[in-house]
Structure 1
Amino acid sequence: MYAEERQQSIAELITSRGRVSVADLSTSFGVTTETVRRDLAMLDRLGVVRRVHGGAVPASALTVTEPGVGEREYTRAEQKDAIAAAAVEYLPGSGGSVVMDAGTTTGRLAALIGPDRELTLVTNSVPIAARVAPLSGISLRMLGGRVRGATQAAVGEEALTSLEWLRVDVAFIGTNALSLGHGLSTPDSDEAAVKRAMVRSANHVVVLADSSKIGREHLVSFARLENIDVVVTDAQIEVSDRKSLTDNGIEVVIA
């Protein structure tokens, strides 16, 4: 296979999978990792792919835009349902406290909280607050601030000030992207600031992220991998990505 043919095949593979590691490409095409890195460098210069730590993603994966809640609600819905069901195991016992980030997967987790569970629940998500408010066992604290239309999440100084004084048992955090080099990231700086404060407020951090988020990077990083304890994801996670997470001391739960 000529270099140009191999590079075209690599580009097609990355486009279809969303992210591919250097090691996987080396095995698939029977060439050295150095050859793969040269191919990726060429494809990156052409704007076809974007190189990330240990591999590459489609050029469209590195973006400063984000879909709205309505669009995201039905994207990879089956995986999100399974992730939420697995994450229930990390809810603290009676009398415990959680902070729940805005997101469609965290929203599914909120929907699974039973009427008999007694928790203090802090959130910046308007939909999550509306979902748990009728539950008699939930002591709800809704963070104030400007509500972003795209995510229906409260952001800004009011939310940050409230989180500064809180300490909760568990934070359930969503993310637009997760990579070894850039950590957890999101397109919006205001949203990133609130997520960062939520991570800092918790004794235990559980990230809910379907496998399409892993290996991607967005504009603003809000947490390093060392700041999180658990990633709950789906079975489509790449073997190399799972190993990278576990090598960083993170528990990976496959829903």
Structure 2
Amino acid sequence: MVRTKAQISKEDQSPKLTRSGKNAVNKKKNTSSSKSKTYDEDVQKTVADSKPQFFDHWLMKSEPDSRFEKGVDMKFSIDDLVKEANSTACWDGVRNYEARNLLRDQMKKNQKAFFYHSNCKQPGIVGIVKIIKEGYPDYTQFDRTDAHFDASSNLDAPKWYMVDVKFVRKTKRLIGLQELKKLHLDHAKSSPKGVLHNLSLFTRSRLSVQPLTKEQFEFILKLEDQDKENN
């Protein structure tokens, strides 16, 4: 299986797959103090260690536009995924504990995920992928030359995990961020609340790998057949 890169989005810390031969991940510039960083990590761990709610559908973010990090283009659009051998790639570079737990513990073979273009002029859902390999150690954490090398991780007790995904199809149209945001707000105000009232894209926006309920996935998928102006 050909494996490609994933990196964290400049906008939302999203993992992105790239076309180069070696896995690499781009990180946001760290402008906080080491104390703040430690606090953030502790919060992540607390959230990650809380009792999980189990999901079987997902949304995964990736950058479609070129952006260079250490001389490497971090771009990986859905078209780039299609061009990979067997239209398959790994989803590495996730360095958030809650997202890590989803990759490691909940994502199962043949589950579906929306492929979401992030950090671009028209962010939104552009396609569907499926999980073809369940969580396994993300080898970029052990690579000292990789942007996401983690000296605190070791082979006997890896901290970070990834899955492999395969292209299924493109959506019939872009299901954009603003369209989804409007629906989310409408569903949050309605009584009873609509299925998108707690959509992770807005309630857990920092996660690069986001859980969806079956009802949310099916509701969003139906939007591709509707005129966005009517939503």
Which has a greater percent of helix? 1
TM-score, normalised relative to structure 2:
0.25
Bigger RCO of structures 1 and 2 (CA < 8 A, at least 6 apart):
2
Structure label with greater radius of gyration = 1
TM-score, normalised relative to structure 1:
0.23
